[in-house]
């Protein structure tokens, strides 16, 4: 299994994810003894062992440097300094947030339309906890009422530097526990970026998703370290590591994620996506979907390859989730059903699971707890040409003795779903027992199917 990070570093990351350190304290602990004002070298981007669906253009070197000033007091908004440096160095420059410097962002930053620029974040960046301001001013992204603190887009943009972005999430976790209809900003919004990389960064305590990648092409995320759990009884919900939307040729690789929702989720119209070499803990799996949520919308997720993932303490490992053909409600702020589209040519290969409720889950009744009603109104969205190969490990006791769930909502909604090399065992020792329904069981190699339907997550 690939890991750039040592076992000791994984342990350190787990400690930071507990309630013992603040993001700032963690950042300071990582600083070298002697902090210097220097320019980071842009990380090399390599694709191993799998290659992206299309080649990435080479990003040329930059010709000038712009250092970002800071009040460095952890109170005063530094957004004007940031905008000034980016304006000066756009189209050929290198923007530097110096190591050991703190930045506060209290203004929604529109960073779209950039060209040929490197943003070198070595410092510590925290977004303010002014929930009223952000609900009124964060950038609305249309999908599931998503909003972002900032939106980064343009052409040939690279972001890196080893620094930390802190979403100040605790106030949002507590607020959401009392009002599920608030708009919680996403920490990193990649919106309309065509060619670029985001690498070698630490993301902490996002109010909602950590990354939203929308209307973008030819973007790679590499060596990203994500973590942030609630320090109160209010859970940190919907903290997906990445959600891709209306984007193609995206690579997400070589990263560590400690979160409370999907590790990576392929939302509507995500195509040619490669995810590889990932360590996910506490998540809802690597997920296709949810899809088919909105009537009149055509959702397509096609040509996706997921390779070499270690999944710990999660609800799912490999997951495909589709809404039924009739309205359903998962929660007050998440309901839908009746949309159309397709899931096609999806591969999961080499996934290790530890204490995961379902090693594999495929459902077309997402959000609908009444399975009789779901079967009466089967999904309008088809699932075809899915391969899940070499998924192995131990599931949790939640659905024991079953360790997987592959159920379509009609005989015609799914075809060519292949499971091979599956070796998962429940806590009671039962091997490869799955709930199966309306699927060709001859393609589920080595799986022991039961029709006893306990329902999906």
Catalytic amino acids? 261, 284
With a cut of 60, say whether residue 73 has pLDDT above it: yes
**pLDDT at position 453, please?**
52
400 preceded by a cis bond (ω within 30 of 0): no
pLDDT in tens, 323-366: 999 888 888 888 889 999 999 999 999 999 999 999 999 999 99
- Separation CA 61–CA 379 (nearest Å): 49
With a cut of 60, say whether residue 11 has pLDDT above it: no
Name the pLDDT band for 454 (thresholds 50, 70, 90).
very low
CATH topology of domain 7-450: Pectate Lyase C-like (2.160.20)
Neighbours of 412 (CB within 10 A): 10
Report the percentage of the chain scoring pLDDT > 70.
94
Name the pLDDT band for 5 (thresholds 50, 70, 90).
very low
- Separation CA 115–CA 97 (nearest Å): 19
Name the pLDDT band for 283 (thresholds 50, 70, 90).
very high
**pLDDT at position 452, please?**
52
pLDDT in tens, 285-327: 999 999 999 999 999 999 999 999 999 999 999 999 999 998 8
Mean pLDDT, to the nearest integer, of 365-394? 90
Mean pLDDT, to the nearest integer, of 115-121? 98
Mean pLDDT, to the nearest integer, of 409-421? 94
**pLDDT at position 17, please?**
47
Report the percentage of the chain scoring pLDDT > 90.
85
Mean pLDDT, to the nearest integer, of 387-394? 98
End-to-end CA distance of the chain: 28
Q: Which residues touch 32 (CB under 8 Å, ≥6 apart)?
A: 99
Q: Which residues of 246-263 are buried (b: 16+ CB within 10 A; e: fewer)?
A: bbbbbbbbbbbbbbbbbb
Phi-psi region of 180 (alpha: psi -120 to 50; beta: other; left: phi over 0): alpha
Please give the mean pLDDT across all residues of the chain: 93
With a cut of 80, say whether residue 4 has pLDDT above it: no
**pLDDT at position 266, please?**
98
DSSP string over 40-101: PPPPP----SS--SSPPPPPPPP-EEEEPP---SSSS--HHHHHHHHHHHTTTEEEEE-TT-
Please state the separation of Cα 255 from the chain's center in Å.
11
Mean pLDDT, to the nearest integer, of 5-28? 62
- pTM assigned to the model: 0.95
Strand pairing partners for 320? 288, 362
With a cut of 80, say whether residue 95 has pLDDT above it: yes
Mean pLDDT, to the nearest integer, of 87-106? 98
Pairing assessment for the beta strands 139-140 and 147-148 based on DSSP bridges: antiparallel
Residue whose C-alpha is closest to residue 456's, from 331, 325, 337, 323: 323
Evaluate whether 124 touches 161 at the Cβ level (below 8 Å).
Answer: no
């Amino acid at each position: 299994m690939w890991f750039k990070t040592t076992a000791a570093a994984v342990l350190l990351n787990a400690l930071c994810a507990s309630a013992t350190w603040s993001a700032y304290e963690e950042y300071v602990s990582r600083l070298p003894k002697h902090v210097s004002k220097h320019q980071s070298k842009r990380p090399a981007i390599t694709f191993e062992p799998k290659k992206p669906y299309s080649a990435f253009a080479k990003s040329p070197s930059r010709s000038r440097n712009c250092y970002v000033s800071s009040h460095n007091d952890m109170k005063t908004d530094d957004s004007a300094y940031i905008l000034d440096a980016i304006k000066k160095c756009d189209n050929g420059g290198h923007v530097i947030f110096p190591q050991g410097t703190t930045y506060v962002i209290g203004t929604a930053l529109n960073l779209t339309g950039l060209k040929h620029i490197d943003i070198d974040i070595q410092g510590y960046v925290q977004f303010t906890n002014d929930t009223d301001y952000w609900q009124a001013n964060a950038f609305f992204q249309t999908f599931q009422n998503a909003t972002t603190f900032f939106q980064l887009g343009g052409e040939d943009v690279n972001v890196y530097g080893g620094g930390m972005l802190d979403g100040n999430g605790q106030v949002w976790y507590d607020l959401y526990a009392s009002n599920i209809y608030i708009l919680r900003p996403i920490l990193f919004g990649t919106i309309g970026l065509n060619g670029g990389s985001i690498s070698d960064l630490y993301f902490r305590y996002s109010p909602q998703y950590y990354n939203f990648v929308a209307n973008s092409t030819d973007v790679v995320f590499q060596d990203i370290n994500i973590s942030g759990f609630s320090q109160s009884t209010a859970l940190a919900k919907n903290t997906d590591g990445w959600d891709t939307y209306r984007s193609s040729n995206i690579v997400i690789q070589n990263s560590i994620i400690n979160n409370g929702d999907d590790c990576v989720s392929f939302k509507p119209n995500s195509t040619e996506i490669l995810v590889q070499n990932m360590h996910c803990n506490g998540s809802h799996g690597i997920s296709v979907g949810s899809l088919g949520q909105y009537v009149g919308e055509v959702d397509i997720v096609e040509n996706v390859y997921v390779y070499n993932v270690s999944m710990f303490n999660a609800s799912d490992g490999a997951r495909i989730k589709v809404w039924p053909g009739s309205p359903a409600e998962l929660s007050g702020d998440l309901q839908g059903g009746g949309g159309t589209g397709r899931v096609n040519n999806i591969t999961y290969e080499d996934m290790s699971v530890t204490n995961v409720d379902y090693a594999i889950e495929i459902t077309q009744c997402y959000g609908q707890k009444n399975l009789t009603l779901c079967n009466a109104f089967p999904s309008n969205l088809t699932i075809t040409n899915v391969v899940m190969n070499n998924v192995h490990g131990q599931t949790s006791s939640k659905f024991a003795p079953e360790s997987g769930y592959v159920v379509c909502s009609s005989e015609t909604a799914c075809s060519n779903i292949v499971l091979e090399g599956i070796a998962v065992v429940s806590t009671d020792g039962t091997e490869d027992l799955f709930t199966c329904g309306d699927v060709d069981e001859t393609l589920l190699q080595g799986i022991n199917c039961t029709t006893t339907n306990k329902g999906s997550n």
